[in-house]
Amino acid sequence: MVSRCFEEVIRRIRAEYVEMPGMILVADQVERLCGVEPALCRMALDTLVQTRFLRQRADGAYVRVSSGEPRGAP
């Protein structure tokens, strides 16, 4: 069972990426923006990558997956 806190963190991160299209942040920036502790933030980011809402670029930054984005883009 997923905790309400974890679900809320996922909703918060998703909302930030929806509100600001094109946003590119590393995990530390997401933590500060959303006020989330590092371990919980990393778990949420991993979940959002697994569900293909976000992807992690080679430089470690997280970006929203868009249908018009070419596969393998940096």
Q: Tell me, what CATH number does 57's domain have?
A: 1.10.10.10
pTM value? Answer: 0.84
Domain assignment of residue 28, given as a range: 4-64
Distance separating alpha carbons of residues 72 and 11, to the nearest angstrom: 26
Whether residue 67 is predicted with pLDDT greater than 60 in this model: the reply is no
Q: Is 73 inside a domain boundary? A: no
- Of 32, 31, 22, 6, nearest to 54 by C-alpha is 22
Q: Is 12 inside a domain boundary? A: yes
Instruction: Provide the pLDDT confidence category of residue 45 given band limits of 50, 70 and 90.
Output: very high
Q: Is 70 inside a domain boundary? A: no
Number of domains in the chain: 1
Instruction: Provide the pLDDT confidence category of residue 2 given band limits of 50, 70 and 90.
Output: low
